[in-house]
Amino acid sequence: MRHLASVTVLSIMLLCELKFSSTKHVEDGYYDFIIVGAGSAGCVLARRLTEIHHWDVLLVEAGGEQPQWDLIPAYLTFASDPAGGIDWNYKTVPSPNYCGGVSCPYPRGKCLGGPSSTNYMFYSRGSKSDYDELRRLGSKGWGYDEVLKYLIKSERNGDPRLASTKYHGSDGPLPVEKFSYQDENILAIIQALKEFGLPEIEINGNQHLGAAVTQMTTHNGERQSTYTAFLEPVRGRNNLHIKTHSHVANILVRNNNEAYGIEYIRHNDTRRAFARKEIILSAGSIGTPHIHQLSGIGHKEVLEPLGINLIQELPVGYNLCDHVKASVGYRIKQTTQLPNITQLYTNFLDYVAHRKGPLAAPGTIQVVGFLPLENSFHPEESHVELAFVPSVSNGLIPASYYDGIVVTPTVLKPHSTGYVKINSTDPLVPPLILPNFLHNESDVLIMLRAVNSSLELLKMPALRNLGFEADTSVIPGCEQHNWGSEEYWRCVIRITAKTVFHPVSTCKMGSRSDPTTVVDSELRVHNVTNLRVTDASIMPITISGLNTLAIMIGEKGADIIKEEWRYYLNSSTFRT
Ligand SMILES: *[C@@H]1O[C@H](CO)[C@@H](O)[C@H](O)[C@H]1NC(C)=O
Ligand SMILES: *[C@@H]1O[C@H](CO)[C@@H](O)[C@H](O)[C@H]1NC(C)=O
Ligand SMILES: *[C@@H]1O[C@H](CO)[C@@H](O)[C@H](O)[C@H]1NC(C)=O
Ligand SMILES: *[C@@H]1O[C@H](CO)[C@@H](O)[C@H](O)[C@H]1NC(C)=O
Ligand SMILES: *[C@@H]1O[C@H](CO)[C@@H](O)[C@H](O)[C@H]1NC(C)=O
Ligand SMILES: *[C@@H]1O[C@H](CO)[C@@H](O)[C@H](O)[C@H]1NC(C)=O
Ligand SMILES: *[C@@H]1O[C@H](CO)[C@@H](O)[C@H](O)[C@H]1NC(C)=O
């Protein structure tokens, strides 16, 4: 209790310390573009579209401002927890295959910045082969060479050595750098991964398998969401209109094929806004399909039972694909439990004065290992990621103070897919989310091997010397199995399997002739004019590092839109 109280005091003090910004109020009416969702992609898109001075852009966000405490990296514990108040509080449909058979949280950030305000801050792009796979699957213009320029365009890499390579940028809006603070455990883990045989790599260069202390979307010890990096600096543009606490209820469509506005709920009132050019959904892999379905764009079998008038039949909400993790506990000797109030105050002053010290980093969440799994059925698809999440036995405290580590082996190319399905015509009722994790036995086999690697890692001298060992306390629900047996780990995997927060593919991109797709390679919704999707829901496959990916989609989407409307302006065929 005392610890929690000190943290609260800390938050209040920081609130006073950091600057505050105010909301801009505008009336409803006509805009050139309406962007739904100020998340990882929406903020980027809003910045880029308002570069055209005569384009009026409305950005609608269901959440509020990004709170100031959220900038503190160690506070991601609160940011990613419902207690932080900036989460949608989605829950999964229960399944015996994961999360112990019960409904589990499915976090998605809800404030300016969206998930970029609540994520682990990794700056990770996925590998070249991921994007080439995309192009192979029919997404014209989305190969690695074609998206790299957009990744670079966003980036302001703080490492001059990297910034000068062909993979990185140094003058974009998004600061990228390593945390200034690494404790002893972090150095030991990176060393152990090397002893395990992984090369130390730069994960965003030409190598993808290996170990790294990753670069993060932070600057001088503060989180950089897409709001702080892309939007806040241009918030004064008078063609940018931001509406927070505005929950979009549906898209207005006429003649079953032409989008012309939105309806949204703000302070219990339903309001309307109209678009002279386009409505662009950037509400993410849950919100975007939900809004489509509310508007009558979706599968007949989903919409009909709810009495929703079908406007266009498209496989909206299907193909939900997400990274899945299990949990393996490490016991550690070198704990950094929340210190006494004197020590805490010292750390706090260090942070306020210099943006340094333990609060400037979320503990072990900065080391990753990308491992190949040899002799598996699909070697090229069975790479796994090991991440190291600090854990505490006594409640919710900043991530820099921990007394255990949970290793989360993650299947990066899962074979199981699920759905997002509307369950009520009330737009405020969340949709059903069934990620279907571990439905396919090959995903379980990959996970078993990844768990094995997590345990093998403990045999490395760097971890042994520091007193790391496996946490052998039996996971509740798996008491019937011997700790360490295959049956035991199969049980643990089913109980601990959860989202790694990377849902994609619910409005899949691809050729019009492919019946599993919702948008084309220019991100236009099939058969509905003036309606586009610009967020991670378009991605046909999972790629590691969803925030980075969504930012790239925002950049590329903005260019696609600019190109199209310049053409229409020049050719004088105005679409009004
Ligand atoms: C909305 O309506 C509910 C119930 O009628 C009320 O409790 C709440 O205060 C209202 N919210 C706003 C923002 O006006
Ligand atoms: C607080 O912790 C520091 C460092 O561990 C120690 O030196 C100091 O004596 C402690 N102070 C109190 C009041 O317990
Ligand atoms: C979905 O809707 C049905 C019918 O209204 C309801 O019984 C059920 O509880 C809802 N499911 C969830 C997960 O909210
Ligand atoms: C599991 O995935 C593999 C590889 O993609 C596929 O061949 C197999 O049909 C899937 N099995 C099921 C039950 O979906
Ligand atoms: C990992 O798998 C190998 C090969 O099956 C086995 O020899 C080893 O004991 C396993 N390690 C652990 C920690 O379970
Ligand atoms: C688009 O509409 C046309 C005619 O209304 C129809 O034949 C076609 O199947 C539709 N395409 C898609 C992808 O729904
Ligand atoms: C349209 O006009 C702009 C400004 O004059 C020009 O930069 C752009 O290249 C033109 N686009 C096309 C497709 O002609």
Q: Give the 3-state DSSP-derived string for 269-292, with helices as H, strands as E and coil as C.
A: EEEEEEEEEEEEECCHHHHHHHHH
Q: Give the number of the ligand closest to the Cα of residue 452.
A: 5
pLDDT exceeds 90 at position 78: yes
Establish how many alpha carbons lie within 13 A of residue 497's alpha carbon, considering only the half-sphere containing its beta carbon: 31
The pLDDT value given to residue 336:
86
Please indicate whether residue 254, judged by its CB atom, sits closer than 6 Å to ligand 7.
no
DSSP output for 407-455 = EEEEESS-S--BEEE---SSTTSPPEEE--TT-SHHHHHHHHHHHHHHH
Residues 111-129 pLDDT 10s: 999 999 999 999 999 888 8
The pLDDT value given to residue 575:
42
What's the whole-number mean pLDDT along residues 177-206? 95
What's the whole-number mean pLDDT along residues 342-348? 93
Instruction: Collapse the DSSP code of 199 into the 3-class scheme (helix H, G, I; strand E, B; otherwise coil) and give the result.
Output: coil
Q: Give the number of the ligand closest to the Cα of residue 570.
A: 7
> What is the distance in A from the centroid of ligand 6 to the CA of 527?
6
| Both structure tokens of 222 | 């503060």
Residues 83-97 pLDDT 10s: 899 999 999 999 999
The pLDDT value given to residue 374:
64
DSSP category for residue 354: H
Q: Is 331 buried (19+), middle (13-18) or exposed (0-12) by CB count in 10 A?
A: middle
> What is the distance in A from the centroid of ligand 6 to the CA of 516?
13
The pLDDT value given to residue 317:
98
> Is 502 among the residues known to form the active site?
yes
The pLDDT value given to residue 493:
98
Look at ligand 7, atom 13, and give the residue with the nearest C-alpha: 567
DSSP category for residue 118: T
Mean pLDDT lowest for which of 293-307, 314-328, 428-442, 554-568? 554-568
Backbone angles phi, psi at 373, to 5 degrees: -110, 115
Indicate which atom in ligand 6 lies nearest the CA of residue 515: 13
pLDDT exceeds 60 at position 43: yes
Indicate which atom in ligand 4 lies nearest the CA of residue 415: 2
* pLDDT band, residue 379 (cuts 50/70/90): very low
Please indicate whether residue 527, judged by its CB atom, sits closer than 6 Å to ligand 6.
yes
> What is the distance in A from the centroid of ligand 4 to the CA of 260?
41
What's the whole-number mean pLDDT along residues 134-142? 92
* pLDDT band, residue 278 (cuts 50/70/90): very high
Instruction: Collapse the DSSP code of 316 into the 3-class scheme (helix H, G, I; strand E, B; otherwise coil) and give the result.
Output: coil
What whole-number distance in Å separates Cα of residue 459 and Cα of residue 498? 26
* pLDDT band, residue 23 (cuts 50/70/90): very low
Establish how many alpha carbons lie within 13 A of residue 296's alpha carbon, considering only the half-sphere containing its beta carbon: 17
The pLDDT value given to residue 382:
54
What whole-number distance in Å separates Cα of residue 423 and Cα of residue 210? 43
- Enclosing H/E stretch for 369: strand 367-371
What's the whole-number mean pLDDT along residues 196-201? 94
pLDDT exceeds 80 at position 288: yes
| Per annotation, catalytic residue among 168, 292, 502, 526 | 502
Output the CA torsion sign for 569, 574, 575, 576.
Answer: positive
Please indicate whether residue 508, judged by its CB atom, sits closer than 6 Å to ligand 6.
no
Mean pLDDT lowest for which of 22-26, 142-146, 307-311? 22-26
Indicate which atom in ligand 2 lies nearest the CA of residue 339: 2
Please indicate whether residue 149, judged by its CB atom, sits closer than 6 Å to ligand 7.
no
Nearest to 534 by CA among 513, 520, 544: 520
Please answer whether residues 458 and 330 qualify as being in contact, where contact means their C-beta atoms are separated by less than 8 angstroms.
yes
The pLDDT value given to residue 18:
44
Q: Which residues contact 102 (CB under 8 A, 6 or more apart)?
A: 94
* Amino acid at site 17: E
The pLDDT value given to residue 373:
76
Question: Whole-prediction pTM value?
Answer: 0.92
Please indicate whether residue 422, judged by its CB atom, sits closer than 6 Å to ligand 3.
no
Indicate which atom in ligand 6 lies nearest the CA of residue 312: 14
What's the whole-number mean pLDDT along residues 3-10? 48
The preferred substitution site among 415, 416, 438, 542 for testing ligand 4, maximizing ligand atoms within 8 Å of CB, is: 415
pLDDT exceeds 80 at position 205: yes
Residue the block writes with tokens 């207690």: 83
DSSP category for residue 396: S
What whole-number distance in Å separates Cα of residue 237 and Cα of residue 47? 9
> What is the distance in A from the centroid of ligand 2 to the CA of 340?
6
The pLDDT value given to residue 11:
52
Please indicate whether residue 339, judged by its CB atom, sits closer than 6 Å to ligand 2.
yes
DSSP output for 321-353 = B--EE--EEEE-SS------HHHHHHHHHHHHH
* pLDDT band, residue 25 (cuts 50/70/90): very low
DSSP category for residue 38: -
Mean pLDDT lowest for which of 12-21, 80-89, 399-408, 442-451? 12-21
Q: Is 333 buried (19+), middle (13-18) or exposed (0-12) by CB count in 10 A?
A: exposed
Q: Give the number of the ligand closest to the Cα of residue 525.
A: 6
Look at ligand 3, atom 9, and give the residue with the nearest C-alpha: 423
Indicate which atom in ligand 7 lies nearest the CA of residue 569: 1
Task: Report the percent of the chain where pLDDT is more than 90.
Answer: 84
**More confident: 26 or 250:** 250
> What is the distance in A from the centroid of ligand 7 to the CA of 565?
10
* pLDDT band, residue 21 (cuts 50/70/90): very low
**More confident: 337 or 346:** 346
What's the whole-number mean pLDDT along residues 356-383? 80
DSSP output for 213-254 = E--BSEETTEE--HIIIIIGGGTT-TTEEEE-S-EEEEEEEE
| Both structure tokens of 221 | 């010890």
Q: Give the number of the ligand closest to the Cα of residue 265.
A: 1
Residues 226-252 pLDDT 10s: 999 999 999 999 999 999 999 999 999
Looking at every residue in the chain, the average pLDDT score rounds to 92
Long-range CB pairs of 350-353 (<8 Å, 24+ gap) are 351/72, 351/221, 352/13, 352/14, 352/17
Residues 141-186 pLDDT 10s: 999 999 999 999 999 999 999 999 999 999 999 999 999 999 999 9
Please answer whether residues 120 and 323 qualify as being in contact, where contact means their C-beta atoms are separated by less than 8 angstroms.
no
Please answer whether residues 356 and 375 qualify as being in contact, where contact means their C-beta atoms are separated by less than 8 angstroms.
no
Look at ligand 1, atom 2, and give the residue with the nearest C-alpha: 268
> What is the distance in A from the centroid of ligand 5 to the CA of 456?
7
Q: Give the number of the ligand closest to the Cα of residue 328.
A: 5
CA 73 to chain centre: 16
The pLDDT value given to residue 338:
75
The pLDDT value given to residue 17:
42
* pLDDT band, residue 553 (cuts 50/70/90): very high
The pLDDT value given to residue 4:
46
The preferred substitution site among 243, 245, 268 for testing ligand 1, maximizing ligand atoms within 8 Å of CB, is: 268
Instruction: Collapse the DSSP code of 175 into the 3-class scheme (helix H, G, I; strand E, B; otherwise coil) and give the result.
Output: strand
Please indicate whether residue 440, judged by its CB atom, sits closer than 6 Å to ligand 4.
yes
> What is the distance in A from the centroid of ligand 7 to the CA of 151?
24
- Enclosing H/E stretch for 152: helix 144-154
pLDDT exceeds 70 at position 315: yes
> What is the distance in A from the centroid of ligand 5 to the CA of 385?
18
